[in-house]
Structure 1
Amino acid sequence: MKKRIRLISPLIMILLFTSFSSESRTEVIVRVPEKLLIKETLHVIYPALPADTPKEWIQPPFLGTSVIGFREALAFKESSGDYFITNTLGYLGKYQFGIGTLQLMGVYNATKFLKNPALQERVFVTNLSRNKWILRRDIPRFVGKKIKGVEITESGILAAAHLAGPGNVRKYLRSWGAHDLADAYGTTISHYMGKFKGYDTSSILPRRNPRVN
């Protein structure tokens, strides 16, 4: 009798597992949110890359229209994502900051800034918060409208402020595009408005005179 029970027990266990798996097997459809879809190839340099390490290109996943996508798209336009570059006009790093802007946020050592990717990322976010505070009245007033055929979005405004400064962006908006300043390389406010429109920058909070921690 005991021998027969030992022989039957494995069969009973197999039947139980089979019944559970068949009952719980349901088709699951996973849909990726629109803002996480990759819509273009963005090459960046990995943030933890030390200054003395050869630069390696990577393609990060799922940037889409998220705030990270905005950051990396803007960085690629500014410097091809290179933390350690200085351009012909003396602008520094991945996001091409000038010395004057860095000093507004409490960064006074350009060499340290250029060698520190983590500091550059903090400065970028801090500057976005600063620009968003300065433009806090203009953003809700103009978002959704069109200037020179380009829809105005918050991310476009913040990108243009990074290019030309928030004061010039305010003049551009309030003049309905008449004050379309260009940088030394000929890139205009209106170009950045269109190129960087539609990203989700809602997680960036406006801050008055923020300093880098």
Structure 2
Amino acid sequence: MIKKVKNYLIIPIAICALLNLALKPQESLNIEVYSTKGLNLNYDMARLDDSHHINQIQLANPFQSSFVYFPHLGKSYIGFKEALAFKESRGNYFTVNTLGYLGKYQFGAETLKLIGIYNPNQFLYNPKLQEKAFLANAERNKWILRKDIKRFEGKTIAGVEVTESGIIAAAHLAGPGSVKKFLRSYGRKNVSDAYGSSVRYYMMKFSGYDTSFIEADKKAKAVL
């Protein structure tokens, strides 16, 4: 009988102990540690509920309702490189296409050599190095095309307004030499890659981003 009484008493005692812990003030918790005050957060949240954004909604989650919330990068440098990465590989660091181009930004082995990377396999499995490579290649291309950026930015060529970001994106696709030919021929020499993407298309698709973060550098290298 005494044993049964003890068993009945254990349950309410345990409940009281749990309630005491739950309601006890957490004096040691410093809320300031978790504050975002003073941080430079370059994101905002967009509510997408119209047909203009339907592709972005479906990519976010095709099974959700029509109201979807997700980080919107806008026309920032991060927005630029992530948009370009999505076009190149759907943002997959570890992919290799049918022509042997590697990674999130689809680099060729010869381009990698220009920015100091000589081991494509090591490059493919190192996301941090891939990000360094993207920036170094963009810096190098910006230096090569610096005079063309100054000369043609703001003009309309082949129906496309020329912007610095469009030029850098097109150089990523086809190389700075092909971009020079396009600009200096006023659109008559429009090179396309094996999958049909052209210099003109990239200049149009990636126009208007803020690429001031990219510094023109003749000797840019991808260094960890």
Measured against the shorter chain, the TM-score band is: 0.7 to 0.9
| 1:86 equivalent among 89, 92, 96 | 96
Is it true that 1:167 corresponds to 2:146 in the alignment? no
**Structure 2 length-normalised TM:** 0.70
Superposed, 1:122-201 pairs within 5 Å as 122-201=132-211
Residue 205 of structure 1 corresponds to which residue in structure 2? 215
Gaps of 5+ in 2: 1-42, 61-68
Deviation per residue, 1:62-96 (Å, 9 max, x gap):
31000000000000000000000000000000000
Q: Distance in 1 between matches of 2:74 and 2:94?
A: 25
| 1:107 equivalent among 106, 117, 123 | 117
**Structure 1 length-normalised TM:** 0.73
Q: Distance in 1 between matches of 2:159 and 2:116?
A: 38
Gaps of 5+ in 1: 1-34, 45-58
Q: Distance in 2 between matches of 1:36 and 1:140?
A: 32
Shift of 1:107: 0.4
**Which secondary structure does the structure 2 equivalent of 1:95 belong to?**
coil
Shift of 1:146: 0.4
8 Å CA contact 2:45–2:70 kept in 1: the answer is no
Deviation per residue, 1:176-205 (Å, 9 max, x gap):
001100001111100001000000001110
Query: Moved runs in structure 1, 4+ residues, more than 2 A?
Result: 35-44
Identity of aligned residues (%): 58
8 Å CA contact 1:36–1:66 kept in 2: the answer is no
Computed over aligned residues only, the root mean square deviation of the Cα atoms, in angstroms, reads 2.2
Aligned residues between the structures:
166
Q: Distance in 2 between matches of 1:116 and 1:81?
A: 14
8 Å CA contact 1:105–1:123 kept in 2: the answer is yes
| 1:61 equivalent among 51, 61, 71 | 71
**Which secondary structure does the structure 2 equivalent of 1:137 belong to?**
helix
Is it true that 1:96 corresponds to 2:106 in the alignment? yes
